[in-house]
């Protein structure tokens, strides 16, 4: 639920910013002209149909004041807009809990490390492997249980054997993966010239 709210908030924020940028550019361009010509602010209002929209809104407000079915539909629409606004606020301000890689847990508490710290340690261990020139590490802790998944892209030169790079890198990672219960997936890839070590 929170993840959906976050995605919706980010998507809507992006769309609103794009719409504001387009509207601002249109107003700036049409502000160059003066008077009531086509290339002016009144011309822009006529182009997007603001007078007709004002009349339609007036008719809608009169229908809502009169009551009946249209008032019910409008009230439901307003309620939906309020619920959508609350969902967006939850998505924007709900704190994001970082999942930790658990080393040990008992009745006294738990000992855990952040995924980023584990990734740095894994990168340092993998770069000690012969033939590894650069690494890219991703850590995915399990939600409730101990351990998780460790994915490493290990760059190597053309002269290195990819199978040997994989097995040697997994051996280098054994102290970390064994202690934290991580399953390591090493993906050897041919290094690019000028690729920096991460």
Q: What is the pLDDT of residues 25-77, one digit of tens each?
A: 888 877 776 666 666 777 777 778 888 888 888 887 787 777 777 777 877 88
Q: Are strands 182-190 and 148-156 parallel, antiparallel or unpaired?
A: parallel
End-of-domain residue from the set 93, 125, 141: 93
The average confidence (pLDDT) of the chain is 82
User: Which residue, of 66, 93, 120, is where some domain finishes?
Assistant: 93
Summarised one tens digit per residue, pLDDT across range 64-114 is 777 777 777 877 888 888 888 888 787 777 766 777 888 877 788 878 888
Q: Is 187 helix (H, G, I), strand (E, B) or coil?
A: strand
Q: Number of structural domains, the chain?
A: 2
Residue 150's domain is classified under what CATH number?
3.30.70.1350
SS3 percent helix, strand, coil of the chain, rounded to 5, is 55, 20, 25
Among 134, 121, 198, 195, residue whose Cα is nearest residue 160:
134
Domain that holds residue 61: 2-93
Residue range 109-132: mean pLDDT, rounded = 88
Q: Do 114 and 137 sit in the same domain of this protein?
A: yes
Q: Say whether 197 sits in a helix, a strand or coil.
A: coil
Look at residue 198 and tell me whether its pLDDT is greater than 60.
Answer: no
Based on the domain organization, do 177 and 140 belong to the same domain?
yes
Q: What is the pLDDT of residue 1?
A: 65
| Shared domain check, 114 and 73 | no
Query: Percentage of the chain surpassing pLDDT 90?
Result: 14
pLDDT at res. 81: 86
Residue 5 pLDDT = 77
Q: What is the mean pLDDT of residues 113-132?
A: 90
* Per-residue model confidence (pLDDT) at position 194: 41
Half-sphere exposure of 128 (CA within 13 A, CB side): 10
139 with 170, same domain? yes
pLDDT at 153: 92
85 plus 111 within the same structural domain: no
Count of CA atoms in the C-beta half-sphere (13 A) of 186: 27
Per-residue confidence (pLDDT) for residue 152, from 0 to 100: 92
198 inside domain: no
């Amino acid at each position: 639920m929170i993840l959906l709210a976050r995605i919706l908030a980010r998507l809507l924020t992006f769309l609103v910013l794009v719409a504001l940028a387009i509207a601002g550019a249109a107003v700036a361009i049409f502000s160059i002209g003066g008077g009531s010509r086509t290339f002016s602010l009144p011309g822009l209002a006529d182009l997007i149909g603001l007078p007709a929209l004002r009349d339609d809104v007036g008719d809608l407000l009169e229908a809502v004041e009169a009551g009946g079915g249209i008032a019910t539909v409008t009230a439901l629409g307003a309620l939906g807009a309020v619920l959508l606004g609350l969902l967006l606020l939850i998505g924007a301000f709900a704190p994001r809990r970082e999942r930790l890689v658990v080393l040990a847990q008992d009745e006294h508490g738990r000992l855990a490390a952040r995924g980023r710290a584990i990734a740095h340690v894994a990168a340092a261990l993998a770069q000690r492997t012969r033939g590894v020139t650069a690494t890219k590490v991703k850590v995915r802790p399990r939600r409730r249980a101990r351990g998780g998944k460790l994915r490493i892209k290990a760059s190597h030169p053309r002269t290195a054997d990819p199978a040997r790079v994989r097995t040697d890198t997994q051996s280098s990672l054994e102290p970390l993966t064994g202690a934290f219960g991580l399953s390591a997936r090493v993906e050897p890839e041919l290094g690019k010239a000028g690729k920096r070590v991460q």
